[in-house]
Amino acid sequence: MATHRFRPTRYHNVIGTAEPCLRVADGDTVVADTIDASGLDAREVTVWERPNPMTGPFFVEGAEPGDTLAVHIERLTPSRATGWTYSPLALTVLDPAAIAERPAAERAVWDIDLAAGSVRLREPPPSLAGFAPKLQPMIGCFGVAPARGQALSTSTSAQNGGNMDYRLFAPGTIAWFPVSVSGALFYLGDGHACQGDGEIVGTGIETSFEMTVTLRVLKRTITWPRGQTADDIFTIGNARPLDQALQHATTEMLHWLAEDYGLDARAASHLMGQVVRYDVGNVFNPAFTVACRIAKRWLR
């Protein structure tokens, strides 16, 4: 179980089947630098172009099509003291009638205070003086090579993962992705220091990171990304409209409850009907993301 310290010199704007940047064994840990969504690195120098430049791909030995890649998110540490966001709200989350009165797009800088564990607008309007939400690092975009030679923009998402912008892809979470090519070809990046549901300003607090993940191969097959936190299991659907993303996530959960928890479709519906939670990931980019989540305490 080796640990690899990886410092990329090139990045990727599609998740596809690029030449691996590193081969790792099943169970190895990778400590990798990632740059922010607009290509700024830890020194705030633009080293790559938009959107969401990815570090990778990592070839995981033993991973074959039909397998599952487990990504243990061990640690996400911002590698610089500032991040940025857009404002105002994205076009996709506004009533069309409200769009005409939307102010012009702007970029704002946030200070990231690792010691205090919080983030702050550098130049807050008076109405937001003192607004300092908690630092809550998360991975905006990660996943594995899609099937059949596709190369998908890092602005979107699909069955292989991608730009899901889901808050629970955070330290302590294990994410699972369906493997479509030998070696899985794992990409990661687009770290956020903080982000509400939906990535509704079109960004989280975008910054560069040092990300530590452990990669394991499972000899089982899944269809959509799955995950677990200390408290919950969840499944992910990526599609548009949101209704379809929700359908994918719900159906994947139904499969999971059958496979691992012995719940047939009727029993699963009795459980889910009372305890299911839906979370909204990205509602900014081409495909939208919905998570279907169940607390572990309801499962045996």
Q: Which of residues 177-236 bind a second copy (CB under 8 A)?
A: 194-201, 203-205
Binding part of the chain for a second copy, among 39-47, 66-74, 81-89, 180-188 by CB under 8 A, reads: 81-89
- Rounded alpha-carbon distances, angstroms, from residue 218 to 16, 67, 100, 144, 231: 21, 6, 50, 14, 22
Candidates 8, 16, 56, 225: give the one binding a second copy (CB under 8 A): 16
Cβ atoms of residues 185 and 145 within 8 Å: yes
CB of 269 to a second copy, least distance (A): 4
Sign, Cα dihedral of 144, 145, 146, 147 = negative
CA distance 64 to 283: 32
Binding part of the chain for a second copy, among 33-41, 169-177, 206-214, 238-246 by CB under 8 A, reads: 238-246
**Structure tokens that stand for 122 in this block:** 């550098």
Q: If you write DSSP's letter for every residue of 19-53 in order, what string do you get?
A: PPSEEE-TT-EEEEEE--TTSB-TTS-B-SPSS-P
168 touching a second copy, by CB under 8 A: no
Candidates 1, 7, 19, 100: give the one binding a second copy (CB under 8 A): 100
Q: Which is nearer to a second copy, 25 or 276 (CB)?
A: 276
Binding part of the chain for a second copy, among 21-29, 68-76, 80-88, 207-215 by CB under 8 A, reads: 80-88
Looking at the DSSP assignment, which residues form a beta bridge with residue 77? 210
CA distance 85 to 204: 6
152 touching a second copy, by CB under 8 A: yes
Q: Which is nearer to a second copy, 43 or 148 (CB)?
A: 148
Kind of pairing between the strands at 174-178 and 226-228? antiparallel
Q: Which is nearer to a second copy, 28 or 36 (CB)?
A: 36
CB of 145 to a second copy, least distance (A): 11
**Structure tokens that stand for 256 in this block:** 């999971």
CB of 45 to a second copy, least distance (A): 21
172 touching a second copy, by CB under 8 A: no
Among positions 259-298, residues that touch a second copy (CB under 8 A) are: 261-280, 283, 286, 288, 298
CA distance 62 to 52: 28
